[in-house]
Amino acid sequence: MSETRLQLLGRVSSSYVAAVQWLETQLWRVGLVLSFGFVLLITAQVILRYAFSSSIVWANEVATYMLIWVVMLLIPSLVLRDRHLQIEIVFRRFSTQWQWRVRLVQLGLILVFSLVFAYSGYEYATTAGTARRFQTLDIDIYWAYISLAIGGVLLAVFTVAKILQVYQNPDTIQEDYEKRFDLDEEMEL
């Protein structure tokens, strides 16, 4: 490829990664609001139940689905920040070149999984989700099930950003490892 095409590709991928990082910030904000709402709702439920022998009929249902949405919205951040479950003891024994290859294969598999997950989540939401309703809220359970599809799409988008980061800068793998285990701080001590 010519130098100008490579520069253009670099700028486009950098812009994509920056947009995904902005989206990650917004998703964390939504996740914090949902988590705070969850805590408030459950606290109110406990106080009402034990202090006043009463309860909010729909509280458990809403709390469950709030947590589902929090998880589906924030899992993609784990991939982008390289905080997902990994077996580092084996991975660290590879040469730098092999670590790069293994990480790209791993991210490719996560991408395939996320696309299958998004498609399956959408199919499930549109079939089973419209056939059932929340018992106490009287709305389609579709709104809980669609979180699976949205989470899968977000995971795919964030995984592509991570692939671009690793592909453009192989040192990203070492930097992620140091951040994950706070190696810089330990070395200073």
Q: What is the predicted pLDDT for the residue at 27?
A: 96
The reported pLDDT for the residue numbered 138 is 78
Between 2 and 138, whose confidence is greater?
138
Close Cβ partners of 98 (under 8 Å, ≥ 6 residues apart) = none
Higher pLDDT: 107 or 1? It is 107
- What are the DSSP calls for the chain, one per residue? --HHHHHHHHHHHHHHHHHHHHHHHHHHHHHHHHHHHHHHHHHHHHHHHHHHS---TTHHHHHHHHHHHHHHHHHHHHHHTT-S---HHHHTTS-HHHHHHHHHHHHHHHHHHHHHHHHHHHHHHHHHHHH-B-TTT-SBTHHHHHHHHHHHHHHHHHHHHHHHHHHH-TTHHHHHHHHHHTHHHHHH-
Residues 16, 131: Cα–Cα separation, whole Å = 38
Most confident of 54-63, 106-115, 133-142: 106-115
| Rounded-to-integer distance, Cα 44 and Cα 157, Å | 37
* Range from 100-109, 111-120, 170-179 that averages highest in pLDDT: 111-120
CA atoms of 33 and 65, how far apart (whole Å) = 14
Looking at every residue in the chain, the average pLDDT score rounds to 85
Candidate from 13-17, 20-24, 152-156 with smallest mean pLDDT: 13-17
Q: In the structure, what pLDDT confidence band is assigned to residue 187 with cuts at 50, 70 and 90? A: very low
Q: What is the pLDDT of residue 33?
A: 96
